[in-house]
Amino acid sequence: MDVSRGASHAEAAPSTGTTIVACTYKGGVVFGADGRVSIGNYIMNRASNKIAPLSDYIFLCRSGSAPDTQIISDNVRHYLHQASAESGEEPSVLMAANLVRLLNYNNKDHLVGAMLVVGWDKHAGGQLYGVPISGTLAKEKWAIDGSGSSYIWGYCDSEFKEDMTRAEAENWVKEALALAMTRDASSGGTIRMYTLDDAGVHYTYIPGDQVPQFMGDLPFPTGGPVGAVLGSAGREGGMVIG
């Protein structure tokens, strides 16, 4: 969602265009997001972190209004810390998802946030919950959201498989994000990915020049005059990642 059209860069708010992707696999869960933040046509950040930790093993993938989803993540993290201090145990993923849903639903007239609650706990292993705008809660095997998600529904639906291996799930998330970044002007930059399983949290950062490219894409500029690189590639058509 771009709220900045018609306004100057000095007056405009950052665009909330995003792609967030997550899926479960046999033994855990994988999730990721792109890194682009823009104001109008100006890309102000290519490496923004759109994934907020709620506890050591629970994370919130954020799309929608950046300040709205940030205040939700801050409050839920505070509540989970309190619950953990009182019980002496790590909070469950379902508890975190219900807190996100409660805050989102009770403030549905004021907040605009579509989020994914992703985590691992000893009770149910890797789990994924979708919390779209207005506060519905749905447990999913895979989920996508953000402005780039409309471009990759077909890919995600056809390529997702039950009980994928960790490598297959990570590749599924990476390719889905790269495809969305290819077509959605509000998604781009870098990719941040997390894998959660019984061994812990595994983080992967993919710089813009290492994001997978597809037929018709312009190559990532690598030294020399950028105009010359883009000029020679532009004759073949395509779009820029990053």
pLDDT of residue 218: 65
Determine phi and psi for 220, rounding to 5 degrees: -70, 130
Compute the mean pLDDT over every residue in the chain, rounded to the nearest whole number.
Answer: 86
Confidence at 13, pLDDT banded by 50, 70, 90:
low
What confidence category does residue 42 fall into, taking pLDDT thresholds of 50, 70 and 90?
A: confident
Count of Cβ atoms closer than 10 Å to residue 231 Cβ: 10
- pLDDT, position 235: 37
Sheet holding 113-121, edge to edge: 51-55, 58-64, 113-121, 125-131, 138-139
Nearest to 117 by CA among 103, 108, 46, 107: 103
Q: Any idea how long the chain is?
A: 242
**Which of 56-65, 119-128, 231-240 shows the lowest per-residue confidence on average (mean pLDDT)?**
231-240
pLDDT at residue 233, rounded to an integer: 43
Task: Record the pTM.
Answer: 0.83
Q: In this model, does residue 239 exceed pLDDT 50? A: no
Q: Which residues contact 197 (CB under 8 A, 6 or more apart)?
A: 27, 28, 29, 120, 125, 126, 166
**Of these residues, 16, 18, 69, 182, which one is catalytic?**
18
pLDDT at 226 over 70: no
Convert the pLDDT of each residue in 195-220 to its tens digit: 999 999 999 999 998 999 876 666 66
- Check residue 66 and give its pLDDT: 85
182 given a catalytic annotation: no
Other CB atoms closer than 10 Å to residue 102's CB: what's the count? 17
Residues with Cβ within 8 Å of residue 175, at least 6 apart in sequence: 155, 159, 212
Of 9-23, 70-84, 166-180, least confident by mean pLDDT is 9-23
126-171 confidence digits (pLDDT tens) = 999 999 998 899 999 999 999 999 999 999 999 999 999 999 999 9
